[in-house]
Amino acid sequence: MGHQKLTLSGSGASSNDFDTTNLSFDVGYGYFFNQNLEGVIRQSLNIIDQPGDNAYNASTRIGVDYNINLRNLHPFFGATVGYLYGDGVKESFIAGPEGGVKIFLSDSAFMIAAVGYDFIFEDADDANDAFDDGVYNYRLGFGYRW
């Protein structure tokens, strides 16, 4: 397997009458320093379409993941840190642990399912207190490793 990977993920939700919709897109790039240790950079975009108002917010993150290679299954765990910005959010730093699994469909193509726990803080002094008020995020997508 190669040393680089690209992932594309997305999700969405709509109210029962489809007048409010939330779409989320995520693109990530990973570089493997060795068989297990991976550096990642990820860009996320959230679009909220509701009556009378539309908004967006985004986050840019860097992090590191440790991958466990079990044939076609590659569970991983790690952490990311980044910045949250856009409409309807207070611009802040964001950090937290993440984990998931890559299921290889071929030598290079895979599906990815991941969950993270994000806490938001303005500076290092806030980080300790903010951890208890975090939110979970979920990703489901596809990737390619070369």
**Tokens 């493997």 label which residue?**
32
pLDDT of residue 12: 84
Q: What whole-number distance in Å separates Cα of residue 58 and Cα of residue 85?
A: 5
Domain span at 97: 4-145
pLDDT of residue 107: 94
Q: What whole-number distance in Å separates Cα of residue 28 and Cα of residue 105?
A: 19
Output the domain CATH number for residue 91.
Answer: 2.40.160.20
Average pLDDT, the chain: 91
Tally of structural domains, the chain: 1
Q: Which residues of the chain have pLDDT under 70?
A: 124-129, 131-132
Residue range 45-70, pLDDT digits in tens = 999 888 888 899 999 999 999 999 99
DSSP for 34-49, please give it.
SSSEEEEEEEEEEEEE
pLDDT of residue 108: 96
